[in-house]
Homo-oligomer: A and B are copies of this chain.
Amino acid sequence: MISIVVENYLKTILKTEDQSRKASTSNIARDLSVADATVTDMFQKLQKAGLLEYKPYYGATLTKQGRMIALKILRRHRLIELFLQKVLGYGWAEVHEEAEKLEHAVSELFVERLDQLLNFPVKDPHGEVIPDAQGFRATLEDICLAEAKPGEYTLRRVTSGDPEFLSYLEREGLVPSNRFSLVEKLPFQGPLKIMLKSSEAPRFIGLEAARKVYVTPTPPLAEGRRKAADHPPARGRRKAVGRRQLAEIERRDTLLSTRHEFARASQHPA
């Protein structure tokens, strides 16, 4: 049986690979708040178990099997976050911590029922894509705010679970699907001057914060690019069956320019 600890290792490695950071023992150790030596040890065990490839001194990469498990946990995590927000009224900043524990405790049945209840959602409260039951993920076409040029943007995604940080962003009005102008980037690694569409007060966001925020230009790119890709891909039967009275959940984020990607063999399960 795969322990909670192993699930967390695999998920962390997956996220590290997604960011194209190297899954070195030190990187993973920092993310998991354990000693480097602990990770070395675990990498050896996980390799023996066939969940990752590991070359001493060169870090690890997930095997297909390891990746599938990681994707399963990631799916759970994100569905649970959305559930906490939509059904139990959790705040944006509160969902991550709770999901971090629940993701290891729920059954397959629970996850699939959640998926139904939430009407097969595509994104979690932070704008992150929810993998489907087979481990497929839509691909986000957003860019990092820290690298964006001045212009009009819609906020798409925030890559952090830190409650302090998320509360801060919320206070600044920086939540997914909100629009703003990036007025300028101040020199010498300075903050970004932005202007929310709703209010008129200009705000300044530090570069470190901006690195965790992803956006798309507003208005969207030429019509040509928006073909079928714009709607969430049909996956499985989406019968009215079981869709309970949580109508407000419906507002599927169709604004988002996502594209379903079956490609990338390494990412493709089985």
Q: Give the interface of A toward B (CB within 8 A).
A: 84, 87-90, 94, 97-98, 101-102, 104-107, 109-110, 113-114, 117, 242, 244-246
Contact = CB atoms under 8 A, between A and B. Distances in A.
B105 A88 contact: no
| Interface majority SS (helix, strand, loop, mixed), chain A | loop
A101 B105 contact: yes
A109 B94 contact: yes
Given A98-B107, A98-B110, A105-B102, A87 B245 contact: no
A102 B83 CA distance: 15
A-B CB proximity, top 7 nearest: A105-B105, A88-B113, A101-B105, A245-B245, A102-B105, A98-B107, A98-B110
A269 B105 CA distance: 29
Given A88-B113, A101-B107, A245-B245, 17 more contacts: A84-B110, A87-B87, A87-B117, A87-B244, A88-B114, A89-B113, A90-B109, A90-B113, A94-B109, A98-B106, A98-B107, A98-B109, A98-B110, A102-B102, A102-B106, A104-B105, A105-B105
A113 B94 CA distance: 13
Contacts of A98: 106-107, 109-110
Nearest to A106: B102
A101 to B, nearest CB: 5
A110 B98 CA distance: 8
A105 B105 CA distance: 7
Nearest to A112: B88
A234 B213 CA distance: 47
Contact of A242 (B89, B105, B114, B117): B89
23 contacts: A84-B110, A87-B87, A87-B117, A87-B244, A88-B110, A88-B113, A89-B113, A89-B242, A90-B109, A94-B109, A97-B107, A98-B106, A98-B109, A98-B110, A101-B105, A101-B106, A102-B102, A102-B105, A102-B106, A104-B105, A105-B105, A245-B245, A245-B246
